[in-house]
């Protein structure tokens, strides 16, 4: 218990291993549910994955994360936006193959986490310096720009209202409301679509017929090399997000957490693997919930146990999943126009924070080639395996950067 459990003194924070009274802890846990809700549900809505199944595995994944990190890192594991691009690009392969890609990415992240535990967190910077990480993150987001535009153009009025709502709430909304711009925009767009008759009738019918209680849809993966190759670059984003989350929480709480960075990667890798083998989307630590912690000064992992339990309970309502599935393409277009751009800008932010020198010809040329391969969706076939822009751009810079950096040593001044 932090103090008397009711008050937080001036300059104090509720540490991860502490909590307030249970009513207050439950209330803060509900805020974390609200913070993760929009993004976690938007990913399956866009990719066509079962909403309740994804919600179930996000709750289970969060519980695993808290256990594996021994309650030292407060975090919610929600659906990762990074998976949207490969899942959308591989829809023709079917959901089972897509789940195979998710599971493979989770297994690779698990291996990386074990390596970091053994070698220390500095190994990440050595293998994937900021210039490489930023490029991969940027091209993953920008690769899907045409998909966002297509959804926007399908219902431009609804998409425009959604986009306007997101921008206004994000810019003008106070405190936590400003951090929920995507969720509020989607709700506003949905209501507007319902008023003007923009909801698909068959989806509304499915909502009426859905049961209030039921077991989430579970299904297993199959493994296709083309889909796996398309999905594995997402691991770079997951590493960046997990390590960034650990560093952010460390800075806010004033406690070094570098020794548990490997545990965080292992936990997210295991959660993503389980999701892939059960029918859910891949997970990641959520920056959205950092805002709640910063606003409340409560970093208690007990509140995240409340959030995880709430997610699992909601997962057993098919009616809830059917409601989310009624979100029309126009609303998705308005939201993804922002979301995909945010992922791209996140890559630029990585470069800025690390002060990457783009007057250096190695940085400049390898990043340029990788970005165009990703944004232009360069697609080539090797044997029976077809690889798209995300795979070629990511693999290209991962291989080209160390090779070009080594060759640059022989350049004459």
pLDDT per position as a tens digit, 43-61: 887 888 888 898 899 999 9
- Of 188-202, 286-300, 390-404, the range with the lowest mean pLDDT is 286-300
Q: Where are the domains of the chain?
A: 22-155+199-329, 358-412
Q: Which residue has the higher pLDDT, 410 or 49?
A: 49
What average pLDDT does range 138-155 have in this prediction?
A: 81
Can you spell out the DSSP letters for 336-376? HHHHHHHHHHHHHHHHHHHT--TTSHHHHHHHHHHHHHHHT
Does residue 221 carry a pLDDT above 60? Answer: yes
The phi and psi torsions of 283 (rounded to 5 degrees) equal: -115, 165
**Residue 9 confidence (pLDDT):** 65
Q: How many CB atoms lie within 10 A of CB 212?
A: 9
Q: Are 234 and 282 in contact (CB under 8 A)?
A: yes
Whether the predicted model's global pTM rises above the 0.75 cut:
no
* The pLDDT of residue 97: 92
Tell me if 393 sits within 8 A of 137, measured CB to CB. no
> Residues 226-259: pLDDT tens digits?
888 888 888 877 887 777 677 667 766 777 777 8
């Amino acid at each position: 218990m932090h103090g008397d459990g009711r008050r937080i003194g001036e300059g104090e924070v509720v540490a991860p291993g502490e909590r307030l009274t249970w009513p207050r802890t439950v209330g803060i846990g509900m805020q974390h549910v609200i913070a993760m809700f929009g993004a976690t549900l938007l990913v399956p809505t866009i990719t066509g994955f079962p909403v309740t199944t994804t919600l179930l595995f996000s709750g289970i994944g969060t519980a695993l994360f808290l256990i594996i990190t021994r309650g030292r890192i407060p975090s919610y594991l929600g659906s990762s936006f990074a998976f949207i691009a490969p899942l959308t690009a591989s829809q023709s392969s079917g959901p089972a193959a897509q789940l195979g890609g998710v599971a493979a990415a989770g297994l690779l992240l698990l291996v990386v986490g074990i390596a970091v535990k053994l070698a220390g967190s500095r190994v990440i910077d050595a293998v994937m310096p900021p210039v490489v990480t930023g490029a991969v993150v940027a091209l993953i987001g920008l690769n899907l720009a045409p998909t966002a535009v297509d959804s926007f153009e399908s219902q431009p009025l609804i998409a425009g209202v959604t986009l306007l709502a997101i921008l206004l709430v994000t810019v003008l909304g106070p405190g936590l409301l400003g951090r929920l711009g995507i969720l509020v925009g989607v709700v506003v767009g949905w209501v507007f679509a319902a008023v003007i008759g923009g909801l698909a009738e068959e989806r509304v019918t499915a909502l009426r017929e859905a049961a209030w209680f039921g077991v989430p849809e579970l299904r297993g993966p199959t493994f296709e090399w083309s889909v796996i190759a398309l999905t594995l670059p997402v691991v770079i984003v997951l590493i960046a997000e997990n390590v960034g989350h650990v560093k952010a929480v460390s800075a806010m709480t004033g406690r070094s957490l570098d020794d548990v960075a490997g545990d965080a990667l292992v936990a997210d890798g295991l959660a993503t693997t389980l999701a892939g083998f059960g029918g859910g989307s891949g997970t990641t630590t959520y920056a959205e919930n950092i805002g709640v912690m910063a606003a409340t000064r409560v970093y208690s992992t007990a509140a995240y146990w409340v959030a995880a339990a709430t997610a699992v309970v909601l997962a057993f309502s098919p009616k809830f999943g059917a409601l989310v599935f009624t979100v029309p393409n126009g609303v998705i277009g308005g939201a993804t126009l922002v979301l995909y751009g945010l992922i791209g800008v996140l890559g630029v932010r990585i470069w800025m924070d690390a002060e990457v020198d783009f007057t250096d010809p190695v940085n400049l040329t390898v990043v340029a080639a990788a970005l165009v391969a990703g944004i232009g969706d360069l697609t080539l076939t090797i044997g029976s395996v077809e690889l798209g822009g995300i795979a070629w751009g990511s693999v290209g810079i991962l291989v080209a950067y160390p090779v070009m950096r080594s060759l640059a040593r022989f350049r004459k001044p």
